[in-house]
Amino acid sequence: MKSNKLAATAILLWLATIAVFAWLFVHGNTTAGSDGRTAILLKTEERGLVLAEMRGLLSATQAVLDGANQNDMKLVAKTATAAGMGSAADVNPVLMAKLPVDFKSLGMSVHHDMDEIAKAAEAGVPQAEILKMTSNTLTKCVACHSAWQLKEAN
């Protein structure tokens, strides 16, 4: 009888732990922001990592636009590939747990878009289509920056 209670308690604790992790995975570590956006609360170094990744994506986007405007599809493919899903592979799972699922989805879709832009450039897709694809990707950047802000957790 005592072992049944112990087993039931262990299962309940296990389920509660899973529920907490699932909630964190979806909602992240957030609070209301000061300007109407949702604030994601991160440690200083975590915030720095996310901001550095965003700056890297912005730089890659600028280089893709330069390459497309010069009709240099090798530059477009090389730059877009470097900012693709491969660059998102080494993400810290603790940091990912703090990011809301919508934020993660937007970020991953930008990396995926970069891979698609690279494939298109390698396949000889016309310059106008590359520019359109890049514009669509930038729309996601604007949406993300309109919805979220990164704040340092106390």
CATH of the domain at 76: 1.20.120.10
Q: pLDDT value at position 137?
A: 97
pLDDT in tens, the chain (154 residues): 677 777 767 666 666 666 555 555 555 688 988 999 999 999 999 999 999 999 999 999 999 999 999 999 999 999 999 999 988 777 788 888 889 999 999 999 999 999 999 999 999 999 999 999 999 999 999 999 999 999 998 7
Cβ(54)–Cβ(149) below 8 Å = no
Nearest residue to 150 via CA among 38, 56, 57, 55: 38
Q: pLDDT value at position 1?
A: 66
The total of structural domains in the chain comes to 1
**DSSP letters spanning 22-55:** HHHHHH-SEEE-TTSSEEEEE-HHHHHHHHHHHH
Q: pLDDT value at position 84?
A: 95
The CA-atom distances, in angstroms, between 64 and each of 128, 134, 144 are 12, 8, 20
Q: pLDDT value at position 29?
A: 84
Range of the domain at 44: 2-152
pTM of the model as a whole: 0.81
What are 32's strand-pairing partners? 38
